[in-house]
Amino acid sequence: MTDDKAIATFSAENRRFEPSAAFRERARIKSKADYERLYRESLDNPDGFWKRETSELVFERPWRTVTEGQLPHVKWFVGAELNVTKSCLDRHLPARKDKRAIVWESEPGEVRTLTYGELHAEVVRFAAALRGLGVQKGDRVAIYMGMVPEVVVGMLACARIGAAHSVVFGGFAAESLRDRINDCQAKVVLTQDGAWRRGSVVPLKATVDKAVLSTPSIEKVVVLRRLGDEHAKVEMKAGRDVWWHEVSEAADPAGGAPEVVDAEHPLFILYTSGSTGKPKGVLHTTAGYLAGTHVSTKYVFDLREDDVYWCTADVGWVTGHSYIVYGPLSNGATCLMYEGAPNSPDWGRFWQIIAKHQVSVLYTAPTAIRAFIRAGNEWVTKHDLSSLRLLGTVGEPINPEAWIWYHEVVGQKRCPIVDTWWQTETGAIMMVTLPGAVFAKPGSTGLPFFGVKAEVVTTDGKAVGANEGGLLVRRQSWPSMLRTIWGDDERFVQQYFSEIPGNYFTGDGARCDEDGYFHVVGRIDDVLNVSGHRIGTAEIESALVSHASVAEAAAVGRPDDLKGQALVVFVTLKPGFTAGPELTQKLKAHVGQEIGKFAAPDDIRFAESLPKTRSGKIMRRLLKDIAAGRETAGDVSTLEDLNVLSKLRAVDE
Ligand code: ATP
Ligand code: MG
């Protein structure tokens, strides 16, 4: 390798999993040839492709030109006019009027369903209520709620009146909420008295009260009564705070007519997870985002009319936006929504929900899968999972061992797994093995989705060969691409387009194998320099997780006088295994065997848990500080549990 920034890859994983004949027969896309034909068409004739594939969506005015401009600033579906809620709601009436849109289960176990007819009525009323509170087209509305059907109502009501929503995950503290509100200058915030989480009350309204002490743009706080006075008594500030049910009931549905907006009108702002630094306010616009989420939901999840589809993400993350709200609803799907924690009251909860509601498609994250593995198979296997037909994963590279477990224990070897690579910035899934069409490989995120031209390049922008690691970039724009970072277009250009000029740089390192399958090897910022080899974190971590004792692992570099960089790994163990010098030796030898002697970690630290973002991603940047014995620099507001850091430091001493 000539490029000193190239990434070496060592993974020997080469198992292939074909979809079953039964799955393939009923799939929307049944063969590799069909995938390739559609893929070629999506690149060669985007106008024709997107016209056909969005033909069931509602446009008040069709587009004149499919794209205009060049990266970094590209417009899609130029001249089109629409309101996304007509595609997500109105178009389903009357045919799906009585079909369940949302099936909601609370943490204590109540079940509520909203049909498309009911969801439509709720959204129209609440849209009218928001207008009544002075929210207008072009305004921003912050949403700080739990996983309740009303959060979907709130988002769609904003879209209905042309206001951009900015959902802030309900686990964030007041300061994080305040900063996000101030960044996007929201006029109104939607919240609820409280939410259940692992049996305790999350006092959402009280947190809003603190945040809005220093958010001059906020005029109104709308409060949903979810728990009631018994569990979450709230203070209502006269003139500022109003009850959701009161404003909604008082509103005249006639005031909830959809605002027709331009294709490029802002739909929402969402802040990224913050795995690598200060979160960025990603702006998505209307038509392109709708097209991207609609088409990807349909094909990636191979949606059928009778599916019960469950995406376990929180609506506070992009996965919740694209694959709980806009994608599934624009397809008329039945979506399951669960309020609480996966281990409440015990680790059987997810599987019990699946059995009870006959969930057929499950979309979750590697962090959850690893937690279930650690908890033990019996929590899964004691429930009847025969309704499942398709599984998905997103958020981090999935270690092949976790993939196999998901396949065997959850999918009972019957269900294809779609490993979906994408980002808050991409709006929709960009890479995936389409189920029914092609085989899957554990740990690989598969082939580019329609309209996606992905490439792996060196730091000077040259394409690398098969199985050579490099920077993952996009050479062209795509419909659901972010349009800018809210209020900071300079940062947008700098962040994504300066590394490889003219290309969108994802921030991830990857390799593409001989079958054209992509493998994400980790964040470029986290790439390790081990004995002269540049290697992605995912390779070391996967090697560790493939050892019987390891539940989860994170690999980071530490400055080292002799070697330049020493390899430090943080490991959490499965129950029944004991940390100590013996296991340390075993794990070092195991990595040596899996990857090569040079990659045997210099230092193995056993930990009870790893620092994660609130969306469950490992925060390696904090571990780097700990490994180097430094104070933690940078933004920690997105860290899920601050105690984890002090515990890790204590181990250090
Ligand atoms: P920030 O950009 O603030 O650091 P973040 O990148 O964690 O936060 P997201 O947009 O939620 O915020 O995450 C996108 C990233 O998650 C991708 O760039 C990639 O690193 C990782 N990722 C997502 N899905 C996959 C997948 N299927 N395989 C491998 N990595 C994935
Ligand atoms: Mg990112």
Report the distance separating Cα 276 and Cα 598, nearest Å: 27
424 lines ligand 1 (CB under 6 A): yes
Confidence of residue 1 (pLDDT cuts 50, 70, 90): very low
Q: Give the closest residue to 80 by CA, choosing from 101, 50, 100.
A: 50
DSSP labels for 571-601?
EEEPTT---SHHHHHHHHHHHHHHT-GGGS-
429 lines ligand 1 (CB under 6 A): no
If you average pLDDT over residues 275-283, what whole number do you get?
86
Report the distance separating Cα 267 and Cα 209, nearest Å: 26
* Contact indicator for 203, 211 with CB cutoff of 8 Å: no
Report the distance separating Cα 184 and Cα 487, nearest Å: 8
Average pLDDT score, the chain? 95
Q: Give the closest residue to 300 by CA, choosing from 202, 391, 179, 169.
A: 391
397 lines ligand 1 (CB under 6 A): yes
Q: For residue 140, tell me if it sits in a domain.
A: no
Q: Which residues is 155 bridged to in the sheet?
A: none
If you average pLDDT over residues 568-585, what whole number do you get?
96
Q: Which residues is 268 bridged to in the sheet?
A: 165, 284
Q: Which residues lie below 8 Å from residue 523, measured CB to CB, with a gap of 6+?
A: 275, 276, 507, 508, 509, 537, 620
Whole-number pLDDT of residue 5: 65
Which structure tokens are listed for 54? Answer: 């969005």
Q: In the 8-state DSSP scheme, what is residue 605?
A: E
Q: Residue 628: exposed, middle, or buried by beta-carbon count in 10 A (0-12, 13-18, 19+)?
A: middle
Q: Is the pLDDT of residue 72 over 70?
A: yes
Residue nearest to atom 1 of ligand 1 (CA): 274
421 lines ligand 1 (CB under 6 A): yes
Q: Which residues is 201 bridged to in the sheet?
A: 196
Report the distance separating Cα 176 and Cα 169, nearest Å: 10
Q: Which residues lie below 8 Å from residue 128, measured CB to CB, with a gap of 6+?
A: 251, 252, 253, 254, 255, 256
Q: Which residues is 472 bridged to in the sheet?
A: 456
Does 603 or 636 have the greater pLDDT score?
603
Q: For residue 616, tell me if it sits in a domain.
A: yes
Considering every ligand atom shown, identify the ligand nearest to the alpha carbon of residue 321 and give its number. Answer: 1
Report the distance separating Cα 571 and Cα 584, nearest Å: 10
Residue nearest to atom 26 of ligand 1 (CA): 421
* Contact indicator for 257, 297 with CB cutoff of 8 Å: no
Q: For residue 26, tell me if it sits in a domain.
A: no
Q: Is the pLDDT of residue 614 over 90?
A: no
Confidence of residue 652 (pLDDT cuts 50, 70, 90): low
Report the distance separating Cα 198 and Cα 393, nearest Å: 23
* Contact indicator for 234, 202 with CB cutoff of 8 Å: no
pLDDT digits (tens, 9 = 90+) for 522-566: 999 999 988 888 899 999 999 999 999 999 999 999 999 888 899
Helices of type H across 140-280: 149-161, 174-184, 204-211, 229-232, 244-250
Indicate the top mutation candidate among 183, 268, 273, 494 to test ligand 1's pocket, ranked by most ligand atoms within 8 A of CB.
273
Considering every ligand atom shown, identify the ligand nearest to the alpha carbon of residue 273 and give its number. Answer: 1
Taking the model in full, what pTM does it have?
Answer: 0.96
pLDDT digits (tens, 9 = 90+) for 333-355: 999 999 999 999 999 999 999 99
Q: For residue 502, tell me if it sits in a domain.
A: no
399 lines ligand 1 (CB under 6 A): no
Q: Which residues lie below 8 Å from residue 649, measured CB to CB, with a gap of 6+?
A: 626
Report the distance separating Cα 494 and Cα 515, nearest Å: 33
Q: For residue 639, tell me if it sits in a domain.
A: yes
436 lines ligand 1 (CB under 6 A): no
Q: For residue 642, tell me if it sits in a domain.
A: yes
pLDDT digits (tens, 9 = 90+) for 419-450: 999 999 999 999 999 999 999 999 999 999 99
Whole-number pLDDT of residue 116: 98
Considering every ligand atom shown, identify the ligand nearest to the alpha carbon of residue 613 and give its number. Answer: 1
Which structure tokens are listed for 396? Answer: 């981090």
392 lines ligand 1 (CB under 6 A): no
* Contact indicator for 99, 92 with CB cutoff of 8 Å: yes
If you average pLDDT over residues 487-499, what whole number do you get?
96
Q: Which helix (H) or strand (E) is 520 found in, with range?
A: strand 518-523
Does 389 or 639 have the greater pLDDT score?
389
Q: How many domains is the chain partitioned into structurally?
A: 1
* Contact indicator for 222, 251 with CB cutoff of 8 Å: no
Q: In the 8-state DSSP scheme, what is residue 440?
A: B
If you average pLDDT over residues 271-288, what whole number do you get?
89
CATH number of the domain within which 582 lies: 3.30.300.30
DSSP-based three-state secondary structure for 448: strand
Whole-number pLDDT of residue 595: 92
Q: Residue 93: exposed, middle, or buried by beta-carbon count in 10 A (0-12, 13-18, 19+)?
A: middle
| Length of the chain (residues) | 653
Q: Which residues is 523 bridged to in the sheet?
A: 508
Q: Percent of the chain scored above 70 by pLDDT? A: 99
Q: Is the pLDDT of residue 415 over 80?
A: yes
- CA-638 nearest atom, ligand 1: 3
Q: For residue 580, tell me if it sits in a domain.
A: yes
Sign of CA dihedral 9, 12, 13, 16: positive
Residue-number span of the structural domain to which 605 is assigned: 535-652
> How far is CA 212 from each of CA 182, 187, 315, rounded to the nearest angstrom?
9, 11, 22
Q: Give the closest residue to 420 by CA, choosing from 399, 447, 456, 387.
A: 447
Q: Percent of the chain scored above 90 by pLDDT? A: 90
Q: Which residues is 200 bridged to in the sheet?
A: 197
Q: Which helix (H) or strand (E) is 187 found in, with range?
A: none
For residue 164, which amino acid is it?
Answer: A
Which 3-state string (H, E, C) describes 386-409? CCCCEEEECCCCCCHHHHHHHHHH
If you average pLDDT over residues 80-92, what whole number do you get?
98
Q: Is the pLDDT of residue 92 over 70?
A: yes
Report the distance separating Cα 284 and Cα 486, nearest Å: 10
Indicate the top mutation candidate among 520, 541, 638 to test ligand 1's pocket, ranked by most ligand atoms within 8 A of CB.
520
Residue nearest to atom 28 of ligand 1 (CA): 397
Q: For residue 463, tell me if it sits in a domain.
A: no
Q: Is the pLDDT of residue 2 over 60?
A: no
Report the distance separating Cα 302 and Cα 297, nearest Å: 7
Whole-number pLDDT of residue 611: 94
Considering every ligand atom shown, identify the ligand nearest to the alpha carbon of residue 276 and give its number. Answer: 1
Whole-number pLDDT of residue 653: 45
Confidence of residue 4 (pLDDT cuts 50, 70, 90): low
Whole-number pLDDT of residue 3: 52
| 96 Ramachandran zone, left/alpha/beta (phi>0; psi -120 to 50) | alpha
Report the distance separating Cα 181 and Cα 570, nearest Å: 35
Whole-number pLDDT of residue 13: 77
- What's the CA-to-centroid distance between 522 and ligand 1, angstroms? 9
Which structure tokens are listed for 50? Answer: 């997107």
Q: Which helix (H) or strand (E) is 370 found in, with range?
A: helix 366-375
If you average pLDDT over residues 226-232, what whole number do you get?
96
Q: Which residues is 188 bridged to in the sheet?
A: 141, 220
Q: Is the pLDDT of residue 397 over 80?
A: yes
